Structure formats: structure tokens, C-alpha cells
Amino acid sequence: MNTQTSLKIKVTVMLIVFFALVFAAIFIPAQTLDYWSGWSYFAIFLIMTVIITFYFITVDPGLIERRTKPETEKIQKVVQSLNGLFFVLMLVIPGFDHHHHWSDVPKWLQVAGNFSVLLGFTIVFIVFKQNSYLANNIAAYNNQIVITTGFYAWVRHPMYSGAYLIILFTPLALGSFYGLLPALVISILIIIRTLNEEKILARDLKGYQSYLEKIRYRFIPYII
């Protein structure tokens, strides 16, 4: 069995387990399968994740391998653990919201939420094509260079720009205003992760400090 086949099997198993957990987090609290917002969001989430993952397993398996490595930095491990917890809450709360009818999110806003999530995944896909060294763990790799073109010519962390769209619009796509609470916590955790990431890369990646001095904005050009 070659390395690429082994990676495909490993990632496939991980995705099956992950999607099962996402499905359970959405629908068990809702106590019904009659939840069109849950189905539409889950379909987009599943399809885009599968497309992105298996596209890069084919054209850039090193990226996917790096994306599956565990975090080693202490601060990042804490942040990632909290991110996982609040991500689950971001899916669970809308299910309870749907069951108890806490929110009244207009259908057009739910549809807009789904389109925004789709846009977020599309940005992440493009950023993966522009930077093969976007690992799950924060570290500088051998032969890694600082990417300064594409989205990186505008913001320091374009992958997080896409992630923000996914996170902040997930609760709305699922028909819940209350789900925005954990989404906002995740947004703050991303900032903490980003600040620590910049510190590590400025220390370990040649040319990154100069890049930080050149590119002022982290997520949205001319705003933040």
C-alpha cells in the first residue's frame, strides 16, 4: 500500500467519524429530522469538506498530511481544545433552538448564511492552493517560504478570513441567533491563535517578520 492510499484511508475514516458527530450534534438536539436548515447546512458542510480534502489528497497530499498533525505548542493545544468545544456548542444550540422555537431567523437570512458558509469554504480552498504549508500545528517546516502573493498580498491570514465566514454564518444558516454566542467565542479564540502563530513564525520562519511589517491587516483588508 503506497503512502497516498494509506493517507486516503486514514482521512476517510476520520471524515466518516467527524461527519457522524456533526450530524448528531445538529439533529439530536433538534429531536427531529424535519429540519431543512440542518439538512441544507450539513449538505454544504459535507460536500465542501469532501471536495477540498480529496482534491488536495490527489494534488498535494503533503498539505493534507500536515493538516492532520496534532498541535504541539501548549497555548495552541488549549486554544484548539476550546475551539472544538465551542464548535460543538455552535451546532448543538441551534438544534435546541429549532426544537424549542427560541429564534425567528428569516428564511432569506438562513439562505444568505448558507451562501456565506459556501463562500468561506471557497476562500479556504483557494488559500490551500496558494499556501501548501498551512498545517494544523503551528510550526515552520523545512524549505517553507513566506507566501506574499494572492490573498496573502492583502491579509496575513486569509484562511482565517474564510473560517470566519463559516463560523459566524453557521448559526444563521441553522436558523439560530443563540448559536452566535459560541461562534463569537470561537472568533476571539482565532485571534488568540493568530497572535501566537505570528510570534512563532516570526521567530522560526525566515522573512516572516518582514512580511508582518509589510502587511498590516490580518483578516479583512483596510479593516482588521
Could you give the number of structural domains in the chain?
1
Q: What is the mean pLDDT of residues 34-39?
A: 97
Letter for the amino acid at 114? N
Q: All 3 cell numbers of residue 62?
A: 503533503
Contact 26, 41 (CB under 8 A): yes
Asked whether residue 223 is assigned to any structural domain, the reply reads: no
Asked whether residue 10 is assigned to any structural domain, the reply reads: yes
- The backbone torsions φ and ψ at residue 146, rounded to the nearest 5 degrees and listed phi first, read -80, 125
Q: How far apart are CA 114 and CA 173, in angstroms?
A: 5
Asked whether residue 45 is assigned to any structural domain, the reply reads: yes
The separation between CA 79 and the C-alpha centre of its own chain, rounded to angstroms, equals 14
Tens-place pLDDT, residues 54-83? 999 999 988 988 888 777 888 888 999 999
Tens-place pLDDT, residues 179-223? 999 999 999 999 999 999 999 999 999 999 999 999 999 999 999
pLDDT at residue 125, rounded to an integer = 97
pLDDT at residue 60, rounded to an integer = 92
Asked whether residue 219 is assigned to any structural domain, the reply reads: no
Domain encompassing residue 54: 3-214
Q: How far apart are CA 4 and CA 60, in angstroms?
A: 10
Q: All 3 cell numbers of residue 197?
A: 502563530
Asked whether residue 87 is assigned to any structural domain, the reply reads: yes
The separation between CA 197 and the C-alpha centre of its own chain, rounded to angstroms, equals 16
The dihedral over CA atoms of 134, 136, 140, 144, expressed in degrees to the nearest 10, equals -30
pLDDT at residue 138, rounded to an integer = 78
Q: All 3 cell numbers of residue 169?
A: 454564518
Confidence of residue 1 (pLDDT cuts 50, 70, 90): low
What CATH number does residue 10 fall under? 1.20.120.1630
DSSP state of 152: G
Confidence of residue 2 (pLDDT cuts 50, 70, 90): low
pLDDT at residue 71, rounded to an integer = 79
Tens-place pLDDT, residues 105-154? 999 999 999 999 999 999 999 999 999 988 777 777 878 899 999 999 99
Q: All 3 cell numbers of residue 129?
A: 492552493
Q: What is the mean pLDDT of residues 175-181?
A: 98
